[in-house]
Amino acid sequence: MKFGIMVNEGPYTHQATDTAYMFAKAALEKGHEVPRVFFYHDGVNNSSSLTDPPQDDRNIVNRWSKLAEDHGVDLVVCVAAAMRRGITEGNLAAGFRISGLGQLVEAGIQADRLVVFGD
Amino acid sequence: MSETTGGVEFDEDSAGVVKKFMFVNRKAPYGTVYALEGLEVVLISAAFDQDVSMVFMDDGVYELIKGQHTKSINVKNFSPTYRALEGYDIEKLYVDKESMDMRGLTVDNLIVPVEVLTAAEMGELMDQQDVVISF
């Protein structure tokens, strides 16, 4: 099955981002496809290369980057939401790209399921 | 829309595909950004010629309330945008009856025409959708 994923909450503050990652990883390991993860609202903060969590904590941003590298997942950050929150090309982590909300609608059209993670 | 997809697997043409998109609005219009940014997604979806409907439930019914005055909290009153939805061919607006009743609201308190549905009817409608995104 082809899953689109939407992440609506920020890293470390909210479980949604962890659950979305674990869902994506589990789906890929089961042989499903996850062509795109779309980040919206505070979810855009998942793409900040400036995060620097303590050594004994999970690195949420790097974890997404690795998922993109290993599985070719398209990590898309909403441009309008990103601009409000100070995410730019200059501090965008590896594997992410900034684009428009059309990418979310397109994921909804082309995926078999669009799964939304957030409050 | 003329955005390039840049996608890995989403490279086939999605033109001509019409899915049922439902946007479920559950939050008060101010206090958090969900309602405002949610509305932005709805407007974009219109450009993709999808079968769009909107649901307002819980505090989300307040998004449609008449007489919103936001000057004193220094944020934009975006409620007029809901009246513009008709121009985007987004005319299927549903509100949850229980949410309205609990807040002492009737359709006369709202800025746009809506259809009032019970929880059971709302559930049936949701079951018919291809994509449900909630804010």
Residues B83-107 have a mean pLDDT of 96
Give contacts of B1 with chain A, Cβ < 8 Å: 100, 102
Give the span between the Cα atoms of A93 and A69, in whole angstroms. Answer: 12
Chain A closest CA to B117's CA: distance in Å?
23
**Active-site annotation holder among A24, A60, A78, A98:** A78
Q: What is the ipTM of this complex?
A: 0.90
Please give the residue range of the domain that contains residue A79.
2-49+58-117
Residues A4-17 have a mean pLDDT of 97
Task: Report the CATH number that the domain containing residue A14 is assigned in CATH.
Answer: 3.40.1260.10
The structural domains of chain B, ordered by start, are: 20-134 (3.40.1260.10)
pLDDT at B51: 95
**Based on the structure, what is the number of domains in chain A?**
1
Say if residue A52's pLDDT is above 70: yes
Say if residue B132's pLDDT is above 80: yes
Q: Answer whether A106 sits within 8 Å of B48, measured CB to CB.
A: yes
Q: Which two tokens stand for residue B38?
A: 């949610």
